């Protein structure tokens, strides 16, 4: 049952343009953070290299915080779809 739900949700997300927009945006942000001297978030300046462990941890923490906010968009889209298709009522208690 879980695999069927997972496959369904993956198909729905891969069809949605929002998923691809977010994926491209995160890819561009990660590329800019790792390759450009103009973008400094992880603290890679001066004698500190961009591939230093502390810099990588800081970059990942910044991207993780941003992704937490974006996960709510995907969850809200799934919840909205459930309400639109009235699939939420099958699991609610009957009155």
Give me the pLDDT at residue 60, please. Answer: 84
Task: Confirm whether 95 is domain-assigned.
Answer: no
Task: Confirm whether 9 is domain-assigned.
Answer: yes
CA dist list (Å): 92 to 34, 45, 76, 89: 47, 54, 18, 5
Task: Tell me the two tokens of residue 51.
Answer: 């591939």
Give me the pLDDT at residue 3, please. Answer: 92
Task: Confirm whether 84 is domain-assigned.
Answer: yes
Task: Confirm whether 18 is domain-assigned.
Answer: yes
Q: How many domains does the chain have?
A: 1
What confidence category does residue 89 fall into, taking pLDDT thresholds of 50, 70 and 90? low
Task: Confirm whether 81 is domain-assigned.
Answer: yes
Give me the pLDDT at residue 46, please. Answer: 58
CA dist list (Å): 31 to 10, 50, 54, 64: 25, 12, 18, 15
Residue with tokens 């949700």: 9
**Secondary element (H or E) of residue 4:** helix 2-15
What letters, b where the CB count within 10 A reaches 16 and e where it falls short, cover 82-92? eeeeeeeeeee
What's the domain range around 52?
2-90
On the 0-12 / 13-18 / 19+ scale of CB atoms within 10 A, 35 is exposed
Q: Give per-residue pLDDT as tens, 15-66.
A: 989 889 988 988 888 888 777 776 666 665 656 676 778 878 888 888 888 8
What confidence category does residue 93 fall into, taking pLDDT thresholds of 50, 70 and 90? low
Give me the pLDDT at residue 21, please. Answer: 92
Task: Confirm whether 80 is domain-assigned.
Answer: yes
């Amino acid at each position: 049952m879980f695999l069927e739900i997972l496959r369904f949700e993956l198909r729905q997300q891969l069809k949605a343009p929002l998923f691809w927009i977010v994926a491209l945006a995160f890819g561009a942000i990660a590329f800019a953070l790792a390759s450009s001297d103009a973008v400094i978030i992880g603290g890679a300046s001066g004698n500190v290299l961009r591939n230093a462990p502390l810099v990588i941890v800081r970059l990942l923490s910044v991207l993780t915080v941003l992704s937490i906010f974006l996960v709510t968009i995907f969850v809200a889209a799934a919840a909205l779809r459930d309400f639109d298709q009235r699939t939420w009522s099958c699991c609610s208690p009957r009155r």
